[in-house]
Structure 1
């Protein structure tokens, strides 16, 4: 049996920003925090603008995508000790390691896979640093 090391990021980070999960996912709050409008959500998730619904009527593909974004937001929030303001500011700030795009822009242009990889690497480094200082 292969066991993850102590330095492995959790499969699902703690809900530091209280964004919810599953049927309790607060998709409206996530969209508000990241300033994503109905057109953004439609384009990013390939769901017709008229089908973009927040709540119980949300299309499954959209729910899955928003949960992925929520997980990324919570990972970043964990690095910032759960500080929502700093987390949102990080998502909106240009980042030279992302080609001078902000994480918010990466999401809006459909590059969340690259952003997820970047965040996972940063999270792993953060955990490694925190562990080595003890």
Structure 2
């Protein structure tokens, strides 16, 4: 495996945890960081609101998706060199490159995979 392939492989997970989302109760921390309500999460994940739990009884698929979103947040925190406030602001501000909606809203609308691809491409120098 060449160096570029290895870097691409390892780039799927940030080598930092600036936002402290990757330790402890990741799903709850992600919801708090992005200010996502249970209603927001249920719509984004296309599941009934009463099935949205952010404790140790969390649905496995929901936990996996929120861990993926934590990863997205950490990728952006890395771009902002660990600045939590700038990272949080980036998720809240409407972005012309995302069709004029905020990254947070993309997550709320269930488009977090598209957001992840946008971020990975941008961080790799690929224009949207």
- The CA deviation at 1:7 is 6.0
User: 1:122 and 1:113 mapped to 2: Cα distance?
Assistant: 14
Which region of structure 1 is more displaced relative to structure 2, 26-35 or 3-12?
Answer: 3-12
Map of 1:37 onto structure 2: 37
- The CA deviation at 1:114 is 1.2
Give me the CA root mean square deviation. Answer: 1.9
- The CA deviation at 1:74 is 0.2
- The CA deviation at 1:10 is 1.2
Contact 1:47–1:62 (8 Å) recurs in 2: no
List runs of 5+ in structure 1 lacking aligned partners.
127-134
Map of 1:15 onto structure 2: 17
Please state whether the residue corresponding to 1:114 is helix, strand or coil: helix
Map of 1:67 onto structure 2: 67
Using the size of structure 1 for normalisation, the TM-score is 0.83
Using the size of structure 2 for normalisation, the TM-score is 0.86
Segments of 4+ moved more than 4 angstroms = none
Tell me: CA distance 1:49–1:4, structure 2 relative to 1, closer, same or farther (3 Å). Answer: farther
Which region of structure 1 is more displaced relative to structure 2, 38-47 or 58-67?
Answer: 38-47
Contact 1:25–1:67 (8 Å) recurs in 2: no
User: 1:60 and 1:45 mapped to 2: Cα distance?
Assistant: 12
User: 2:70 and 2:39 mapped to 1: Cα distance?
Assistant: 19
List runs of 5+ in structure 2 lacking aligned partners.
none
User: 2:27 and 2:121 mapped to 1: Cα distance?
Assistant: 25
Contact 2:26–2:67 (8 Å) recurs in 1: no
What is the total number of aligned residue pairs between the two structures? Answer: 123
